[in-house]
Amino acid sequence: MVPPEQTQAKPRMTIGVALPQMATGLDRGRLLDWCRIVDQGPFSSISAGERITFHNLDGFTLCSAAAALTERVRILVNVAVLPWHAPALVAKELASMDVVSGGRVEVAVGVGGRSQDYAALGSPFAGRHRRLDESVLEMKRLWDGGAAADGEKVGPAPVQAGGPPIMASAMGPKSLARAAQWAVGVSGFTLLGDSREAGRLFRATESAWNNAGRTDKPRLVTGSFVALGANAAETLREFAATYLQVFSPDLAKSLSEAMTLNEPSRLVDLLDQVEAEGADEFIVVPATSDPSMMEKLAEVVASR
């Protein structure tokens, strides 16, 4: 007889949506619209991340707002750059968010890719990987009731036992090996919407988990920039060129012109391909703050 666990089909990949914090025009009214539409739609999570020297709204602020403005979807802080922060403060912020949301928070942590943000914060770029690992362990210790420097506990206690689940924003073998010691999975990103790139990260993550002697399956998440609706191709190209300008104008131009997730059919194809690679969730990162994009996106997700 085949064991029951071998006859159960893998759950369908879910679709999360990032708040359009990196696009222009996100104000109170649009934030309210996005939270309402995402929470009512066929989506699994709402998210925001960190960047300092850019026009974006702060990711922790946006996720805290989403925690209060939604009832159903998970709240994903994606990505929290832990080496920028005191771990006790982040532990308190995430636990508070978990309380406000009723236990719906998860977080992906990483070291970020922009030295400019470290410089703006007066945070050393060197040693960032070590500080990331240390910060994760310290947050978990505090969530488990460990004492802070003054002997007191850092409250509140998270709603979720042990604190919000922590994923790693890791890519290389060394980073994945470290993440396998403390993460529940990975949250990656494919800039050009390449399912093979996502698949390589997933296989490397599974290998790291196996090498660490873990028997649990890592949570596998990826995402990409997307624009749908009127003038979507131009919107995506201009958004990406602006967002990537920090790395070099020439690179930003060439990458932005290579992005193709501006039509529903192309997004459907990528979602199918990424799911075939084993993804548990795909995060749509919108290139526009116009809520009308969500109507098109909801149609795409519902059609699957």
CA distance 127 to 118: 12
Spatial neighbors of 296 by CB under 8 A, at least 6 apart, are: 228, 229, 264
Backbone angles phi, psi at 47, to 5 degrees: -145, 165
Residue ranges and CATH numbers for the domains of the chain are: 13-235+261-303 (3.20.20.30)
Residue 7 has pLDDT above 70, yes or no: no
Query: What mean pLDDT is reported for the chain?
Result: 95
CA distance 260 to 285: 14
Residue 148's CB is within 10 A of a number of other CB atoms, namely 14
Whether 159 contacts 99, CB under 8 Å: yes
CA distance 102 to 83: 27
Residue holding tokens 């991340």? 49
Q: Greater confidence, 174 or 2?
A: 174
User: For residues 100, 47, 142 and 144, what is the CA-based torsion angle, rounded to 10 degrees?
Assistant: 70
The pTM (predicted TM-score) of the whole model is 0.94
CA distance 158 to 92: 9
CA distance 84 to 82: 5
pLDDT at 263: 96
Q: Is 108 exposed, middle or buried (0-12, 13-18, 19+ CB in 10 A)?
A: buried
Tell me the pLDDT band of 8, cut-offs 50, 70 and 90: low
CA distance 201 to 39: 29
Q: Is 55 exposed, middle or buried (0-12, 13-18, 19+ CB in 10 A)?
A: exposed
pLDDT at 91: 98
Residue 4 has pLDDT above 70, yes or no: no
Within its chain, how far is the Cα of 102 from the centroid?
20
Q: Which whole number is the average pLDDT over 251-255?
A: 94
Whether 40 contacts 294, CB under 8 Å: no
CA distance 56 to 71: 25
pLDDT at 150: 86
Bridge partner residues of 16 (DSSP)? 283
Residue 1 has pLDDT above 70, yes or no: no
